[in-house]
Chain A
Amino acid sequence: MSGAQMKFLPVATAETAEYWAGCRRHELLIQRCADCATYQFYPRLMCTACTGRSLEWVRASGHGRVRSFTIVRRAVAEAYAAEVPYVVALIELDEGPTMMSNVVGCSAEQVRMDMPVEVVFEDWTGDVTLPKFRPRAAGTAAR
């Protein structure tokens, strides 16, 4: 994607490298606690529910719903200006955790609260792939 270098690129840490490696393979990885089965996002050293340290990476269904959204009319930085108007949303994954993302694959005006969405991946640079979400027909089976 042209201009991606000027965007706010995520820089992986030791804690998040696995997540970003998953994104490069177009897999959305989240953590699950081996002790209490709680799912969590973003990646952490410990389980937020039981404080256990036995966390496993699992591939999420990639399905979720729009918990809230906004249509950005004035870009945060020049590198995002070409995409205005774009949708920033909070996506509640079917597994439970919420993540921020963009809703793509439809016009901004078509996004609705509680709209079912599914993950898509946008390759920004050789190292950085971002998970985004697009509308999904209700009842579509998980991949």
Chain B
Amino acid sequence: MGETLRGQAAIVGAADTEVGTVPHMGASQLCIDAILRALDDAGIGKEAVDGLVTCNSMAEPYMYHAEAMAEYLQIFPRYCVSVGAGGGTTFTALHQAASAIASGICHTVVIAMADSLRSGLTRERAMAMQSSSGHPQFESPYGAPVPAYYALIARAHMHEFGTTAEQFAAVAVSMRKHAARNPAAQMRKPISVEDVLGSRLIADPLHLLDCSLVSDGGAAVVLTSAERARDFRQPPVYLLGAGEGHGHEHISQARCLTTSAAADAGRRAYAMAGVGPGDIDLAQLYDCFTPVVVIELEDLGFCAKGEGGRFVAAGSIEPGGRLPVNTHGGLLSHCHPGNPGSMFALTEAVLQLRGQAGERQLAKAELALVHGQGGIMSSHCTVILGRECTR
């Protein structure tokens, strides 16, 4: 166990929909639009798809979402599943899809996710979303909005390691610098640490600009076996490592507030890929709130535990930094349509590894680490992607 998926599957198609405020398309349309664009990118028709993995939409939920999307497309896959692991969903889905391909369940899987949190949510659904993030009996009654749950983690990190609000703010500033180079990003106007600290306090120590966006949008990728991948028109991006870690669902049950199961996920993904943090050219990290990036950088081994604040404040994750993070702008500045948010981190990693990222293309992009976390630092999945099949 552990080495079996390395180099078995590759991404051969990747595409985003229009993102940001997209009132002219519903969540299901965005999901289908993403699939059609990814199929175009791969150069195949829908008939070639025999696996479909999606996540449910908040704005247009279905009892069986993947089945509903297959029905809409009129495809009849032999592997069809909806994944629900919050922000960790994207990479958990990729992990499962690669496993399905490696074990011969299916050949070519589309992973597609979309939602319209900005334009498509009724007030009642938005409320339901807020209340459903805590334990219904033991957390939600106390009135914490989602940022407050993350603020509990941020405060603990500050207390334990001396991390400052300025250091958290540096994450938002860095993401905006990346977004300024991405024409598709929702927010591109440069911001400073002072802008972040001067924005409205939402839940101490988190300010408005420490919090990710609320967006519409979707993205999809096409995954197939490494053998088949050579026959597609795009250069394959190989899945070299994948690992998950699941620590809790509810933050009040977390064993530790300042170290997350990202450490488990990362360790497993590095072991599968046979690489370490020092080999990674770019990291695409889940950035729903700025402190999350600080903790992920530590847990994934890019800096020592407790050093994350200083690491980001030194400009390490900015364009030109020693570890560019979220070259598309992340959830903080590119877009964040909820559970599908990590998809854009994935499609960006694919573009960078293919050398197709335009103005923001990194000079060296051979190995990328992408990481998603869902819940309140609850479920984690790390994936390592590369240009070369190192199986």
Binding site for B on A (CB under 8 A): 7-13, 16, 41-42, 67-77, 80, 83, 86, 88-90, 98-102, 113, 130
Q: What B residues does A77 contact at CB under 8 A?
A: 127, 130-131, 143
Q: What B residues does A74 contact at CB under 8 A?
A: 145, 200, 202-203
Minimum C-beta distance from A3 to chain B (A): 12
Minimum C-beta distance from A105 to chain B (A): 15
Interface pair B141/A67, CB less than 8 Å apart? no
Picked from A41, A83, A113, the residue with its CB within 8 Å of the CB of B155 is: A113
A8-B252 contact, Cβ under 8 Å, with A73-B202, A73-B204 = no
A73-B143 contact, Cβ under 8 Å, with A68-B153, A113-B155 = no
Q: What B residues does A11 contact at CB under 8 A?
A: 136-137
Most buried by B among A7, A73, A113: A73
Asked if B156 is at the interface (CB within 8 A of a chain A CB), the reply is yes
Q: How far is the CA of A13 from the CA of B137 in the complex (A)?
A: 9
Minimum C-beta distance from A112 to chain B (A): 10
Minimum C-beta distance from B253 to chain A (A): 8
Asked if B140 is at the interface (CB within 8 A of a chain A CB), the reply is yes
Q: How far is the CA of A83 from the CA of B137 in the complex (A)?
A: 20
- Per-residue 0/1 for B187-222: is the Cβ within 8 Å of any A Cβ (1 yes, 0 no)? 000000000000011111110000000000000000
Interface pair B141/A99, CB less than 8 Å apart? no
Q: What B residues does A41 contact at CB under 8 A?
A: 138
Q: How far is the CA of A102 from the CA of B153 in the complex (A)?
A: 16
Asked if B257 is at the interface (CB within 8 A of a chain A CB), the reply is yes
Q: How far is the CA of A71 from the CA of B253 in the complex (A)?
A: 20
Interface pair B139/A100, CB less than 8 Å apart? yes
A99-B138 contact, Cβ under 8 Å, with A70-B152, A88-B152, A113-B159 = yes
Complex A-B: 12 CB contacts under 8 Å: A8-B131, A42-B135, A70-B151, A70-B154, A70-B203, A72-B144, A72-B203, A73-B201, A74-B202, A83-B143, A100-B138, A100-B139
Q: How far is the CA of A71 from the CA of B200 in the complex (A)?
A: 13
A72-B143 contact, Cβ under 8 Å, with A8-B131, A11-B136 = yes
Q: How far is the CA of A88 from the CA of B149 in the complex (A)?
A: 9
Minimum C-beta distance from A75 to chain B (A): 7
Interface pair A71/B204, CB less than 8 Å apart? yes
Closest B residue to A42 by CB, please name it: B138
Interface pair B135/A80, CB less than 8 Å apart? no
Q: How far is the CA of A90 from the CA of B250 in the complex (A)?
A: 11
5 other contacts beyond A70-B148, A70-B203, A99-B138, with CB at 8 A cut-off?
Answer: A10-B137, A41-B138, A88-B152, A88-B203, A90-B252
Q: How far is the CA of A142 from the CA of B355 in the complex (A)?
A: 65
Interface pair A12/B137, CB less than 8 Å apart? yes
Asked if B251 is at the interface (CB within 8 A of a chain A CB), the reply is yes
Q: What A residues does B201 contact at CB under 8 A?
A: 71, 73
Q: What A residues does B253 contact at CB under 8 A?
A: 42, 98
Closest B residue to A7 by CB, please name it: B141
Q: How far is the CA of A86 from the CA of B142 in the complex (A)?
A: 9
Interface pair B145/A10, CB less than 8 Å apart? no
Closest B residue to A13 by CB, please name it: B137
Q: How far is the CA of A102 from the CA of B134 in the complex (A)?
A: 14
CB under 8 Å from chain A, chain B span 230-257 = 251-253, 257
Q: What A residues does B141 contact at CB under 8 A?
A: 7-10, 130
Interface pair B144/A76, CB less than 8 Å apart? yes
Q: What B residues does A13 contact at CB under 8 A?
A: 137
Q: What B residues does A89 contact at CB under 8 A?
A: 152
CB under 8 Å from chain A, chain B span 151-170 = 151-156, 159
Q: How far is the CA of A83 from the CA of B205 in the complex (A)?
A: 19
Interface pair B200/A86, CB less than 8 Å apart? no
Q: What B residues does A7 contact at CB under 8 A?
A: 141, 143
Interface pair A76/B145, CB less than 8 Å apart? yes
Most buried by B among A88, A98, A101: A88
Interface pair B252/A72, CB less than 8 Å apart? no
Q: How far is the CA of A129 from the CA of B205 in the complex (A)?
A: 29
Minimum C-beta distance from B151 to chain A (A): 4
Q: How far is the CA of A19 from the CA of B229 in the complex (A)?
A: 57
Closest B residue to A100 by CB, please name it: B252
